[in-house]
A and B are shown apart, each in its own frame.
Chain A
Amino acid sequence: MSGSLTAVILVMAAATVLSRVAPFLFLGRHAERPWVRYLGRGVPPVIVTLLVIYCLRGVRIDAWPYGLPELGALVVTVGLHLAWGNALISIAAGTGLYMFLQQSGVLS
């Protein structure tokens, strides 16, 4: 079993490295091209937006509590960030509220 586990880890490591190194191997000479620069500007906002949606993918808005814990925690996070601009405070407060809502059972 440990032999095949070694193989699993090696295959997964190779697949992951391949996906991370691909643009550097295949696009290196094209870094100055207009379309690469365009993607460099456009990709980050797209990815961050999609990661937020992805993180919230499991939220059920058709059943109690209708995603209220997530919504409340996000409002606190974004609101604090707009007010003070300190990422740590925003994230800690939002996460703290979310953990309280999940663990205390006030919304269950």
Chain B
Amino acid sequence: MRPSRPLFFHALKATLPVIVGYVPLGFAFGLLFAELGHHWAWAMAMSLAVYAGAAQFLAVGLLAAGAGLVDIGIATLILNARHAFFGVSLLERWRTHPIKKAFLIFWLTDETYAVITSLKAPEGTRETDFHLWVAGLNYAAWNTGTVAGAITGQALAFDTTGMDFALTALFAVLLVEQIREVRQPFPFLLALAAGLATLALFGAEHMLLISIGLSLYLLMLTGRRRAWR
């Protein structure tokens, strides 16, 4: 059975909120990077090759502070270690052509992960192809934003203040979808407790990685006690 519309449009509809968030965020990264005094092509090169928003924003600060290569490498690794946890839940679902799989893995960001694990592929389509379209569109949006931001430099024609809330709203919507699907309060309450506790103890800077590590540890402990059911 063929989908009634090309998979591209289904993916576009599914990930439009991420695109709406990625373009201005990429734009902001491009703006910040341009302020370091480099040619816009360097910002584009970093977005194309690294494609990790949080790490790229961090790198701008580190570069401005004159940090060394080792510092930047370790910071990137720590900040992005959370991506390793995402892959665990996709191992079984991404049994596909090696080249497609390589792109899916390279394009695996927080937002892409959230969209593809919360929204189902249209009926009669291959799930990994749907995921590829979603991931590729997000990648294109991030890089378009970066290049536009880096070239524009200082001149902002449109006040984007508050537009980054689109990502918060997206995660809230995906949370509603997850609650509907999982129908079991335990993982949500565990993450809520771990998240608030790490935020209070370690502050906003480091909360994401620590709370993910803590939650996964507690999840594993509980799982073993329940014999993984």
Contact = CB atoms under 8 A, between A and B. Distances in A.
Interface string B93-127: 01000000100011010100110011100000000
B188 A57 contact: no
A54 B165 CA distance: 12
B216 A19 contact: no
Interface in A43-85: 43-58, 69-70, 73-74, 77-78, 81-82
Contacts of B106: 17, 20
Nearest to B195: A53
B220 A99 contact: no
Interface residues of A, number: 72
B5 interface: no
Contacts of A38: 223, 228-229
A52 B76 contact: no
Interface residues of B, number: 88
B195 A50 contact: yes
B161 A39 contact: no
Contacts of B73: 11-12, 14-15
> What are the 9 tightest A-B residue pairs by CB atom distance, in nearest-first order?
A23-B87, A102-B162, A49-B191, A53-B195, A34-B228, A99-B162, A55-B168, A57-B204, A98-B165
Interface of A: 1-2, 4-5, 7-24, 27-28, 31-32, 34-58, 69-70, 73-74, 77-78, 81-82, 87-88, 90-92, 94-95, 98-103
